[in-house]
Chain A
Amino acid sequence: MNRWLNILDYAIISLLRRRRKQIALVVIYTLVVAFFASVIFFTGALRQEAVYVLSDLPELWVQRLAGGRLVPIAQSKIDSIAVIRGVKRVLPRLWGYYYDSPSGAVFTITGSDSLPKGLKLLDAAIGGGLDSNQVFCGSGFPETHFTGLGQQLGLIDYKGCLHSFEIVGRFSSQSDLLTRDLIILSPSAARKILGIAKNNYTDLAVEVWNPDEAETVGRKIDRLFPSVRVVTSAQLRSTYEALFSHRGGIFIYGALISLFSFLILAWDRASGLSREERQELGILKGIGWQISDVLWMKFWEGAVISLTSTICGLVLAYLHVFYLNAPLLRPFLIGWSVLYPEYRLQPAFAFSEVLLIVMLAVVPFIAATIIPAWRGAVTDPAEVMQNG
């Protein structure tokens, strides 16, 4: 035990003594770790957002398809579905996308009389439901257009006519991801803007009494109406999970390449012992150090360097992703950067991510230094006398 501490002590002193040489290595190492830790934190945070978003979804979701395209679904379907055994409630939904040319962003328009559940009004000018010339909106629109509560908001309908609405409320939710760009109109106004005929809806959300039966009910709906597509929230969740995993995974593999190029550097540096280092190891062997002592010293050196760099890299990545909003990664995730120019990620990262980063950063580095360390450690103890 004492021996290990003594060797650790010597390793740290020995590193500090050569700190100028180590700094370059630690800086590069830190940057590499910061890069792939950023990727992991970023994709992890996106995935977390998706989980928040999906947690409020209904179990089933019915859409109508014609020629593979989504088309509005008629009122009559609601009644037919509502009578199926196990269905608790059918909620027709009106929504669509709206391209806003001045800001170049895409907003989501939803038709509803009141605020959907899960959303929280930050400030409101009215108490009850929406009139046909009033809107609630997420924080995205007011910010991009520099407007606020009580101001007018102009939307162009599908025929090209401009309609003006008064902003009567601003809302937020746990996740900014899907609500930031949301605009809520009254159903009739939403129909006008989105071009959906009366008695038609974008799709239907179906609540069931027993979530375990969702799959069965879904299959029943599917059989009854050949032209519809039924999506279960479980499917959606898996798809999202797979999508985020996939996207993140590809990034991680990309980041690994930088890690490996760094390892080659580390290998190169560690294997080419300088004359001084060689002489020092020779002296240590000469004054009674065992091969295993030198190996331990080199191991501690590697561990100190890699842990220092990993911790610095983790801190840098955290700041980069959660305080600066990942300015260096945004351009790569094009979809996000266009949709959410000012989108802020929630600081959330899991133990597994930190574990992954530590595993990826520390283990390969130490593995790559074993052989060079051994080369130094087997220096002949007699060499120091012969070279005298």
Chain B
Amino acid sequence: MLTHTWIITQTLGQTIAVILLLIVVFKSLPILMHWNRESASFLQLKLERRTYLISTIIQFVFWYQIAGLLLFLITVNNILPGSIKGAMCATGVLSVNIFGYPLLWIKLIAVIVYAQFLFLNRMDGREPLYPLTPNKYYWLFPALLLVIADFILSLLYFSKIEPDIIATCCSISFSTAKDSSIFFIAANVRMVPMLIFFYLSFALLVISVIFFNRGPELSFVISLGFTTTAVFLLKNHFVKYIYGLPSHNCLFDIFWGRYYYIGYILFSALIISLICSLLLLTLKYIEKGLSAPVKPIRKILQWGAVLGSTLFTLLCSIYWLNWIFLD
């Protein structure tokens, strides 16, 4: 499958990302070793200039990898199901071999790591004294590892896709359709505790983000819980109402045009909320070294965390309530 146009695009893209990150890590080693803010030496001047190169490349790679993630989602959701027998959606495409899901995870984690670095970089750039240099450059190592893992997994995943092997799709995800329509409308009984937990964690997240400035650890833990529950419930509960099918539990069909690409919005909202609560936590740890005011930054992050989770919860609930009240 390595000769498929969509796949060539991504393989090439990953190759460029690996090359750029290797350059970046290589160039950042002298900064980690020789950085001395007090010095006015030639070397220090050179290193200061180099920081611009590194942040430029990382910014480029960041946007480019976000585009890459989108391309990947489009490929597995909309393109490959046509070429792989038996795969009707991304569930089948991703599980066609063992590398599919780890690849998706790696890509998501990489976005979080880039966001973390760019945030540190942004905060550092506001200060005349480089309070976060050179320590922020340690984040480049996980970024490099992730990008290499992404590259290798992509190669393995795409090269091991055999179009004539029949994939098992979400037939497993089709729960047995014996649930009566009453249950369908009123939510599956097994889901009730999860649903309670979901709305509770949402409320707690909003409260803790807005009112407990001092405890971003708490918000972050709640955010993790909220995100996990959200994905679980989306797959096992909310999708049914998005599709309007009682037995269809496929997580990935929501990325289709038939459902107005709602999946892209839901997952973006979720990941933005998670990243913002992570950055709130980061902000707490670096705050001491910063001289420029951090209040406006914190406000933006709080808004991001709250609005992201609210958008997700609201959209899912609207789909659900729509079914309850229409019938």
Q: Answer whether A and B touch in the complex at a CB cut-off of 8 Å.
A: yes
* Sample of 19 more A-B contacts, CB < 8 Å, known A364-B16, A370-B56: A241-B83, A241-B163, A245-B1, A248-B3, A248-B5, A249-B2, A249-B3, A252-B3, A252-B5, A291-B49, A292-B56, A352-B79, A355-B9, A355-B71, A359-B12, A360-B12, A363-B64, A374-B52, A377-B52
Checking A238, A239, A256 against B12 with a beta-carbon cut-off of 8 angstroms, the contacting residue is A256
Checking B1, B49, B60, B163 against A367 with a beta-carbon cut-off of 8 angstroms, the contacting residue is B60
- The docked-state distance in angstroms from the alpha carbon of A235 to that of B86 is 12
Contact present for B85 and A238 (CB under 8 Å): yes
- The docked-state distance in angstroms from the alpha carbon of A292 to that of B6 is 33
- The docked-state distance in angstroms from the alpha carbon of A256 to that of B56 is 26
Residues of A within 8 A of B3 (CB): 245-246, 248-250, 252-253
Contact present for A295 and B16 (CB under 8 Å): no
The verdict on B304 contacting chain A, using a C-beta distance below 8 Å, is no
Interface size range of chain A in the complex? 20 to 34
- The docked-state distance in angstroms from the alpha carbon of A239 to that of B162 is 11
Residues of A within 8 A of B164 (CB): 235, 238-239, 242
Residues of A within 8 A of B16 (CB): 363-364, 367
Q: How far is the CB of A36 from chain B (nearest CB, A)?
A: 11
The verdict on B271 contacting chain A, using a C-beta distance below 8 Å, is no
Among residues of B, the one whose C-beta sits closest to the C-beta of A256 is B12
Contact present for A291 and B163 (CB under 8 Å): no
Q: Which 7 A-B pairs have the closest CB atoms?
A: A249-B3, A378-B49, A374-B53, A356-B9, A238-B163, A356-B5, A245-B3
- Kindly supply a per-residue 1/0 record for chain A positions 347-359, scoring 1 wherever the CB is within 8 Å of any chain B CB and 0 otherwise: 0000011011001
Contact A370-B57, Cβ < 8 Å, known A252-B8, A360-B9: yes
Contact present for A366 and B163 (CB under 8 Å): no
- A residues contacting B by CB (< 8 A) are 40, 44, 234-235, 238-239, 241-242, 245-246, 248-250, 252-253, 256, 291-292, 295, 352-353, 355-356, 359-360, 363-364, 366-367, 370-371, 374, 377-378
Instruction: Specify which of A245, A246, A353, A371 lies most central, judged by the most chain B CB atoms within 10 Å of its CB.
Output: A245
The verdict on B13 contacting chain A, using a C-beta distance below 8 Å, is yes
Among residues of B, the one whose C-beta sits closest to the C-beta of A235 is B164
The verdict on B295 contacting chain A, using a C-beta distance below 8 Å, is no
- The docked-state distance in angstroms from the alpha carbon of A253 to that of B5 is 10
- Kindly supply a per-residue 1/0 record for chain B positions 55-85, scoring 1 wherever the CB is within 8 Å of any chain A CB and 0 otherwise: 0110010001000000100000001000101
Q: How far is the CB of A32 from chain B (nearest CB, A)?
A: 15
- Kindly supply a per-residue 1/0 record for chain B positions 24-60, scoring 1 wherever the CB is within 8 Å of any chain A CB and 0 otherwise: 0000000000000000000000000100110011001
- The docked-state distance in angstroms from the alpha carbon of A10 to that of B39 is 36
- The docked-state distance in angstroms from the alpha carbon of A40 to that of B163 is 21
Residues of A within 8 A of B9 (CB): 355-356, 359-360
The verdict on B178 contacting chain A, using a C-beta distance below 8 Å, is no
- The docked-state distance in angstroms from the alpha carbon of A256 to that of B5 is 12
Among residues of A, the one whose C-beta sits closest to the C-beta of B4 is A245
- The docked-state distance in angstroms from the alpha carbon of A245 to that of B159 is 13
Q: How far is the CB of B90 from chain A (nearest CB, A)?
A: 16
- The docked-state distance in angstroms from the alpha carbon of A371 to that of B3 is 30
Residues of B within 8 A of A356 (CB): 5-6, 8-9
Checking A234, A360, A378 against B52 with a beta-carbon cut-off of 8 angstroms, the contacting residue is A378
Among residues of B, the one whose C-beta sits closest to the C-beta of A364 is B16
The verdict on B307 contacting chain A, using a C-beta distance below 8 Å, is no
The verdict on B20 contacting chain A, using a C-beta distance below 8 Å, is yes
Contact present for A292 and B163 (CB under 8 Å): no
- The docked-state distance in angstroms from the alpha carbon of A291 to that of B49 is 9
Checking B5, B19, B56, B83 against A40 with a beta-carbon cut-off of 8 angstroms, the contacting residue is B5
Instruction: Specify which of A234, A235, A367 lies most central, judged by the most chain B CB atoms within 10 Å of its CB.
Output: A367
Contact present for A249 and B8 (CB under 8 Å): yes
Residues of chain B from 166 to 198 with CB closer than 8 A to chain A in the complex: none
Would you list 14 pairs from A and B whose C-beta atoms are within 8 A, ordered by A residue? A238-B85, A249-B5, A291-B49, A352-B6, A356-B5, A356-B9, A359-B13, A360-B8, A360-B12, A364-B16, A367-B60, A370-B53, A370-B60, A374-B56
Instruction: Specify which of B5, B19, B79 lies most central, judged by the most chain A CB atoms within 10 Å of its CB.
Output: B5
Residues of B within 8 A of A378 (CB): 49, 52
Among residues of A, the one whose C-beta sits closest to the C-beta of B55 is A292
Residues of B within 8 A of A234 (CB): 85
Residues of B within 8 A of A242 (CB): 163-164
Contact present for B57 and A352 (CB under 8 Å): no
Residues of A within 8 A of B20 (CB): 367, 370
Residues of B within 8 A of A371 (CB): 23, 53
Residues of B within 8 A of A256 (CB): 12
Q: How far is the CB of A370 from chain B (nearest CB, A)?
A: 6
- The docked-state distance in angstroms from the alpha carbon of A356 to that of B4 is 11
Q: How far is the CB of A60 from chain B (nearest CB, A)?
A: 16
Contact present for B56 and A295 (CB under 8 Å): yes
Residues of B within 8 A of A295 (CB): 52, 56
Residues of A within 8 A of B49 (CB): 291, 378
- The docked-state distance in angstroms from the alpha carbon of A235 to that of B165 is 10
- The docked-state distance in angstroms from the alpha carbon of A292 to that of B49 is 11
- The docked-state distance in angstroms from the alpha carbon of A245 to that of B19 is 27
Contact present for B12 and A366 (CB under 8 Å): no
Q: How far is the CB of A205 from chain B (nearest CB, A)?
A: 21
- The docked-state distance in angstroms from the alpha carbon of A104 to that of B83 is 36
Q: How far is the CB of B41 from chain A (nearest CB, A)?
A: 15
Residues of B within 8 A of A359 (CB): 9, 12-13
- The docked-state distance in angstroms from the alpha carbon of A19 to that of B60 is 27
- The docked-state distance in angstroms from the alpha carbon of A374 to that of B50 is 9
- The docked-state distance in angstroms from the alpha carbon of A248 to that of B3 is 7
Residues of B within 8 A of A364 (CB): 12, 16
Q: How far is the CB of A39 from chain B (nearest CB, A)?
A: 10
- The docked-state distance in angstroms from the alpha carbon of A112 to that of B12 is 49
Among residues of B, the one whose C-beta sits closest to the C-beta of A247 is B3
Contact A363-B6, Cβ < 8 Å, known A238-B163, A370-B57, A374-B56: no
Contact present for A363 and B13 (CB under 8 Å): yes
Instruction: Specify which of A40, A238, A239 lies most central, judged by the most chain B CB atoms within 10 Å of its CB.
Output: A238
- The docked-state distance in angstroms from the alpha carbon of A363 to that of B56 is 14
Residues of A within 8 A of B56 (CB): 292, 295, 370, 374
Among residues of A, the one whose C-beta sits closest to the C-beta of B45 is A380
Q: How far is the CB of B154 from chain A (nearest CB, A)?
A: 15
- The docked-state distance in angstroms from the alpha carbon of A353 to that of B9 is 10
Q: How far is the CB of B83 from chain A (nearest CB, A)?
A: 6
- The docked-state distance in angstroms from the alpha carbon of A246 to that of B7 is 12
Residues of A within 8 A of B163 (CB): 238, 241-242
